[in-house]
């Protein structure tokens, strides 16, 4: 058999490429033409972003599904719930155990740093009474509920 030279290889390769391109352009290699149909804009749009949490606009649902009953029973529960859960759930509040003074500071923090709408002094006092009564410091001492640590 005659030996293949580089020139032969080049010519054969170019011919093969040319044929494949011609076939492709004729559509012979494309059975899945629909892939080139432009995707509707709605399908490529990024998913809607969740609303920013610290939004205090009236009428916006809060970013959680907590109910008044998720706070412990006690005087001031309703006013505390409706004042304090516009931006976050009750879990954030229940996780804290503070003196009345520190709840007072937390209140200021919500007003100043997180732009909580102003609260009437009488309501503020009722909320602070509720918070310091329900969530005092070291509400659950280490092992408080654990019989093995007694
Ligand atoms: C205007 C929105 C807004 C309101 C109303 C609000 N908070 Fe907050 N609060 C925040 C934001 C924002 C944070 C930051 C923490 C986060 O969301 O992750 C926060 C955090 C907290 C924390 C956790 C702080 C910490 O150091 O871990 C506590 C406790 C808290 N808030 C209590 C309250 C109480 C009590 C009230 C009602 C008097 C209240 N918040 C009302 C926005 C608010």
Of the pLDDT bands very low, low, confident and very high (cuts 50, 70, 90), residue 93 is very high
| Protein residue whose Cα sits closest to atom 23 of ligand 1 | 92
Residue 3: per-residue pLDDT: 73
Report whether pLDDT(83) > 70: yes
Count of CB atoms within 10 A of residue 141's CB? 9
| Protein residue whose Cα sits closest to atom 34 of ligand 1 | 84
Q: What pLDDT, in 10s, does the model give residues 98-115?
A: 999 999 999 999 999 999
Residue 24: per-residue pLDDT: 79
The rounded distance, in Å, linking the Cα atoms of 82 and 71 is 11
Across all residues in the chain, what is the average pLDDT? 82
Closest CA to 80 of 140, 139, 125: 125
Choice from 77, 88, 96 to test ligand 1 binding pocket (greatest atom count within 8 A of CB): 88
Residue 150: per-residue pLDDT: 60
| C-beta of residue 142 within 8 angstroms of C-beta of residue 149 | yes
Positive or negative CA dihedral for 110, 115, 116, 120?
A: positive
Residue 99: per-residue pLDDT: 96
Residues with Cβ within 8 Å of 135's Cβ and at least 6 positions away in sequence, in order, are 93, 94, 96, 97, 98, 103
Of the pLDDT bands very low, low, confident and very high (cuts 50, 70, 90), residue 84 is very high
Residue 135: per-residue pLDDT: 96
Residue 91: per-residue pLDDT: 96
End-to-end Cα separation, the chain, in angstroms: 96
Torsion of CA 127, 128, 130, 134, to 10 degrees: 140
Q: What pLDDT, in 10s, does the model give residues 28-80?
A: 676 655 556 666 666 666 665 555 554 455 567 778 999 999 999 999 999 99
| Protein residue whose Cα sits closest to atom 14 of ligand 1 | 114
Q: Which atom of ligand 1 is nearest to the CA of 98?
A: 29
Residues flanking ligand 1, CB < 6 Å: 53-54, 56, 83-84, 86-88, 92-93, 96, 106-107, 110, 114-116, 127, 131
Q: What pLDDT, in 10s, does the model give residues 105-147?
A: 999 999 999 999 999 999 999 999 999 999 999 756 666 677 7
Tell me the CA–centroid distance for residue 59 and ligand 1, in Å: 19
Higher pLDDT, 120 or 22: 120
């Amino acid at each position: 058999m005659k030996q293949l030279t580089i020139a032969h290889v080049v010519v054969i390769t170019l011919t093969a490429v040319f044929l494949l391109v011609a076939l492709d352009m004729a559509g012979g290699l494309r059975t899945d033409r629909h892939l080139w149909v432009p995707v509707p804009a709605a399908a490529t749009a990024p998913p809607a972003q969740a609303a920013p949490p610290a939004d205090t606009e009236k009428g916006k649902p809060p970013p959680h599904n907590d109910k008044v009953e998720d706070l412990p029973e006690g005087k001031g529960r309703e006013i505390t719930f409706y004042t304090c859960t516009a931006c976050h759930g009750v879990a954030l509040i229940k996780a804290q155990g503070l003196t009345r003074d520190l709840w007072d500071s937390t209140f200021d923090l919500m007003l100043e740093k997180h732009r909580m709408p102003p609260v009437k002094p009488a309501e503020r006092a009722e909320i602070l009474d509720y918070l310091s009564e329900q969530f005092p410091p070291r509400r659950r001492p280490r092992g408080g509920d654990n019989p093995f640590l007694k």
